[in-house]
């Protein structure tokens, strides 16, 4: 059989004032069992402390324009705070991989992150795949291996075998399940995935977003827009196996309770952001498609482009309405 090339994965690490966590994040990428990847760090107008850490660990003295080459690591520095969406799209412009991951600088990847997500892609042919997560705190201490924030796979109980102390925190899971999520089960604007670091996305699908201009609307919560768009045009899948550690700390967007990610404990400012994203998502997506209508028609054909528009306009489900009402109640209380 002919030997085909293995796909390159571009890992875009967006970093704004998270320098203390960045070396651990990059080390977890370098320790991947799948080795065909590139790292792009986007330093989004960070503070001096973060800049010093990047300078010390990831730059060499020979710079070309805004890029600093150090082995397989490239660094892009922004001249103003672009936010999560703007930073990611800057990295996407120079990404060379067939698959792309948007990594938050404070998260940590487990060593099989790339290999398992690629395996899921090879068996589903979806636009993106999202993995389950474990929870860690500011000091990288594990708080749980089965996060409440993982919306699709829930640990609902069962019979457990007593483990020795060193195996209680074992993250090397051999078995995992992959579920393809149909559009009918997850209508546009709903949420069936884990946050940004959880996902591996197809570059061919992401290329549409290089035309997106309203990046300031998603300085945080870019994954809400990106995942909703990718699921709309190419569906998605979820992996039951935890493949990364989501770090909960006082500065992240949904740093609710440092132990669990329960919706009930969202900070007031997080609730406000959630309401804003849900309210603006439909209008922003329609505006994006209409402004680039000819491009969408050329890529997807006019009939499919119209189908996308109708899906956005007429999509809703009871779960979304319940969450919006819950958010409003918590906001008023």
Nearest alpha-carbon partner for 135 in 171, 164, 100:
171
The strand pairing partners of 102, in sequence order, are: 12
- If you search the block for the tokens 């705190």, which residue do you land on? 137
Say if residue 254's pLDDT is above 70: no
Query: What whole-number percentage of the chain has pLDDT above 70?
Result: 81
**13 within some domain:** yes
**177 within some domain:** yes
For residue 301, the model assigns a pLDDT of 97
In the chain the beta strands, taken as DSSP E runs, fall at: 9-15, 37-43, 63-64, 67-70, 73-77, 99-104, 108-109, 128-136, 142-144, 178-181, 199-202, 236-247
Q: Are 167 and 204 a contacting pair, CB within 8 Å?
A: no
E strand or H helix at 295: helix 293-300
pLDDT digits (tens, 9 = 90+) for 68-88: 334 468 999 999 999 999 999
Give the C-alpha separation, 130 to 120, whole Å.
9
**292 within some domain:** no
**175 within some domain:** yes
Nearest alpha-carbon partner for 74 in 85, 88, 63, 89:
63
CATH for 112: 3.90.550.10
Domain span at 228: 9-154+170-262
pLDDT digits (tens, 9 = 90+) for 103-150: 999 999 999 999 999 999 999 999 999 999 998 988 999 888 878 777
Q: For the whole model, what pTM was predicted?
A: 0.89
Q: DSSP string spanning 175-228?
A: ---EEEE-TTTS-TT---S--GGGEEEEHHHHGGGGG---GGGGSS-HHHHHHH
pLDDT digits (tens, 9 = 90+) for 209-251: 999 999 999 998 999 999 999 999 999 999 999 999 999 886 6
**281 within some domain:** no
Q: Which of 6-15, 101-110, 184-193, 290-299 has the lowest mean pLDDT?
A: 184-193
Say if residue 51's pLDDT is above 60: yes
**310 within some domain:** no
pLDDT digits (tens, 9 = 90+) for 151-163: 776 655 566 678 8
How many domains does the chain contain in total?
Answer: 1
pLDDT digits (tens, 9 = 90+) for 162-196: 888 888 888 887 889 999 998 778 889 888 999 99
Residue 323: pLDDT band (50, 70, 90) is low
The strand pairing partners of 142, in sequence order, are: 136
For residue 67, the model assigns a pLDDT of 39
Give the C-alpha separation, 191 to 278, whole Å.
10
Nearest alpha-carbon partner for 42 in 118, 114, 100, 99:
100
**60 within some domain:** yes
**114 within some domain:** yes
Q: Are 237 and 117 a contacting pair, CB within 8 Å?
A: no
Sort 222 into a burial class: Cβ within 10 Å, 0-12 / 13-18 / 19+: buried
């Amino acid at each position: 059989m002919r030997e085909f090339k293995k796909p390159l994965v571009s890992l875009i690490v967006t970093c704004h004032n998270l320098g203390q966590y960045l070396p651990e994040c990059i080390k977890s990428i370098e320790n991947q069992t799948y080795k065909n990847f590139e790292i792009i760090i986007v330093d989004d107008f960070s503070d001096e402390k973060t800049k010093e850490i990047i300078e010390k660990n990831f730059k060499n003295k020979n710079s070309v324009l805004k890029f600093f080459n150090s082995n397989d690591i490239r660094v892009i520095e922004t001249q103003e705070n672009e936010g999560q969406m703007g930073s990611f799209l800057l990295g996407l412009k120079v990404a060379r991989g067939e698959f792309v991951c948007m990594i938050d600088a404070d998260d940590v990847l487990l060593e099989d992150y790339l290999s398992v997500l690629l395996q899921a892609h090879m068996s589903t042919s979806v636009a993106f795949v999202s993995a389950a997560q474990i929870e860690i705190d500011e000091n990288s201490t594990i708080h749980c291996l089965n996060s409440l924030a993982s919306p699709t796979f829930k640990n609902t109980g069962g019979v457990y075998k007593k483990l020795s102390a060193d195996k209680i925190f074992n993250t090397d899971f051999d078995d995992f399940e992959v579920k393809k999520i149909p559009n009918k089960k997850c209508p546009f604007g709903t949420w069936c995935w884990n946050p940004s670091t959880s996902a591996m996305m197809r570059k061919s699908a992401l290329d549409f977003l290089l035309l997106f201009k309203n990046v300031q609307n998603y300085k945080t919560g870019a994954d809400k827009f990106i995942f909703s768009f990718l699921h709309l045009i190419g569906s998605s899948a979820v992996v039951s196996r935890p493949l990364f550690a989501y770090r909960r700390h006082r500065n992240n967007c949904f740093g609710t309770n440092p132990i669990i990610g329960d919706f009930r404990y969202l900070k007031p400012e997080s609730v406000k952001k959630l309401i804003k994203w849900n309210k603006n998502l439909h209008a922003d997506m329609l505006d994006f498609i209409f402004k680039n209508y000819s491009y969408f028609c050329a890529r997807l054909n006019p009939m499919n482009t119209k189908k996308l528009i109708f899906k956005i306009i007429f999509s809703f489900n009871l779960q979304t309405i319940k969450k919006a009402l819950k958010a409003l109640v918590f906001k008023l209380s």
